[in-house]
Amino acid sequence: FIPLVFVLSLLIPTIGMLANPNIGLVSGISLISYSILVYIVSAQIALQQQISWLATIAPFGILHLSYGIGSLVGILTLPFLKR
């Protein structure tokens, strides 16, 4: 559920900016927090596997964004599926 929560933490405040521009700070804080965590985890994996941390940082972001967007699309289309 972490990728879905990450995508929602970016999406919902961004939409909320239409009502109040200050709500966009939540998206910024979420993105910064996520980036710091990805950097730390990528560095740990790179040290353990003895590879470049640049080779681990991009897949984390791509994986979490695509998995989160896919989860959101799946949840939104679930009520419309025919059985």
Residue 8, H or E segment? helix 2-16
Average pLDDT, the chain: 87
Helix residue ranges per DSSP H, the chain? 2-16, 24-49, 54-77
pLDDT tens per residue, range 31-56: 888 889 888 988 999 899 999 888 88
Q: At what angle do helices 54-77 and 24-49 cross, to 10 degrees?
A: 130
Lookup result for tokens 């984390």 = 60
- 27 has pLDDT over 90: no
CA distance 71 to 11: 13
